[in-house]
Chain A
Amino acid sequence: MKSIKLLFFMLFFGQLGFSGQLQVVATYGYIGDIAQRIGKDKVEVVSLARGDYNPHIIIPKPSYIAKMRKADLLIINGGQLEIGWLPQIIKQANNGAVQPGERGFLDLSMHVHLIDVPTSVSRELGDVHPEGNPHFFMDPDNIPIVAKAITERLSELDPDNQAFYEENNKEFYALWQQKMKTWEEKLKPFKGVKVVEYHKIFDYFLDRFGFVIAGTIEPLPGIPPTTKHIADVEKLIDREKVQFILQDVYNPQDAALYLSKKLNIKLLILPHDVGAVKEADNVFSVFDEIVRRLTNG
Chain B
Amino acid sequence: MKLQKKCILAFPILFVWSCGFLRAQSREGSAFDQSRYVPDIALILDVSGVGRDMANEKYYSLTIPGFSYPFLNQPSPSGLNAQRGMNFNYGEMSLYSVVDPYFDLFAVIDLAPDGAGLEEAYFTTRKLPYGFKIKAGKFLASFGRVNEQHEHYWDFANQPLISMALFGEDGLNEIGAQATWVAPTPFFLVFGGEVLNGKNQQSFGTGGFSDPQNIISINPVQGPNLYIGFIRSSFDIDEASILFGVSNAMGAARNADPGFSSAGETGNAVAANTDIAGADLTVKYSLDAIRFIGFQSEFMFRVMKGTQYTHESFGGDSLQSLDKHNSGFYAQLVAKLDQLWEIGVRYDLLMQNDVVLGGRNMPLPSNLPRYSAMIEYSPTEFSRLRLQFDRDQSRCLPVSGGEWSQQPYMQVILQANLTIGAHGAHAF
Q: Report which A residues bind B (CB closer than 8 A).
A: 11-17, 52-54, 57, 59-63, 65-66, 69-70, 83-88, 91-96, 99-101, 123, 126-127, 222-224, 249-252
Among B11-19, B59-67, B124-132, the stretch in contact with A: B124-132
B289: chain A residues within 8 A (beta carbon): 52-54, 57, 249-251
B181: chain A residues within 8 A (beta carbon): 94
A14: chain B residues within 8 A (beta carbon): 130-131, 184
CA–CA, A110 to B104, complex, Å? 23
Q: Contact between B188 and A223 (Cβ–Cβ < 8 Å)?
A: no
Among B73-81, B114-122, B223-231, B419-427, the stretch in contact with A: B419-427
CA–CA, A95 to B188, complex, Å? 13
Instruction: Report if A96-B129 is in contact (Cβ < 8 Å); known contacts: A66-B188, A66-B189, A223-B380.
Output: yes
CA–CA, A59 to B132, complex, Å? 24
Q: Contact between A13 and B130 (Cβ–Cβ < 8 Å)?
A: yes
Find A65's partner among B104, B124, B128, B188 (CB 8 Å cutoff): B188
User: Is B101's beta carbon under 8 Å from chain A?
Assistant: yes
Q: Contact between A12 and B130 (Cβ–Cβ < 8 Å)?
A: yes
Find B133's partner among A17, A57, A94 (CB 8 Å cutoff): A94
Interchain nearest-CB distance for A129 vs B (Å): 13
Interchain nearest-CB distance for A44 vs B (Å): 12
Q: Contact between B131 and A101 (Cβ–Cβ < 8 Å)?
A: no
Highest count of chain A CB atoms <10 Å: which of B184, B284, B290, B424: B184
CA–CA, A90 to B235, complex, Å? 18
- 8 intermolecular pairs with C-beta atoms under 8 Å apart: A60-B428, A61-B234, A63-B236, A66-B186, A66-B189, A123-B420, A224-B340, A252-B338
A250: chain B residues within 8 A (beta carbon): 288-290
Interchain nearest-CB distance for B79 vs A (Å): 28
Q: Apart from A62-B428, A63-B234, what are 17 other A-B pairs with CB-CB below 8 Å?
A: A11-B183, A12-B130, A15-B184, A16-B184, A17-B184, A53-B286, A59-B241, A60-B425, A60-B426, A61-B234, A66-B185, A83-B425, A94-B128, A94-B181, A96-B126, A96-B129, A224-B339
CA–CA, A99 to B101, complex, Å? 9
User: Is B71's beta carbon under 8 Å from chain A?
Assistant: no
Q: Report which B residues bind A (CB closer than 8 A).
A: 98, 101, 104, 124, 126-133, 180-190, 232, 234-236, 241, 243, 284, 286, 288-290, 292, 338-340, 379-382, 420, 424-428
Q: Contact between B132 and A63 (Cβ–Cβ < 8 Å)?
A: no
CA–CA, A16 to B186, complex, Å? 10
Find B425's partner among A12, A87, A96 (CB 8 Å cutoff): A87
Interchain nearest-CB distance for A89 vs B (Å): 8
CA–CA, A69 to B131, complex, Å? 7
Q: Contact between A127 and B380 (Cβ–Cβ < 8 Å)?
A: yes
A101: chain B residues within 8 A (beta carbon): 98, 101
Q: Contact between A62 and B425 (Cβ–Cβ < 8 Å)?
A: no
Using CB atoms, name the residue of chain B closest to A15.
Answer: B184
Highest count of chain A CB atoms <10 Å: which of B235, B379, B382, B425: B425
Instruction: Report if A95-B131 is in contact (Cβ < 8 Å); known contacts: A84-B425, A127-B380, A222-B380.
Output: yes
Interchain nearest-CB distance for B417 vs A (Å): 15
CA–CA, A287 to B395, complex, Å? 63
Using CB atoms, name the residue of chain A closest to B131.
Answer: A94
CA–CA, A88 to B183, complex, Å? 17
CA–CA, A287 to B62, complex, Å? 65
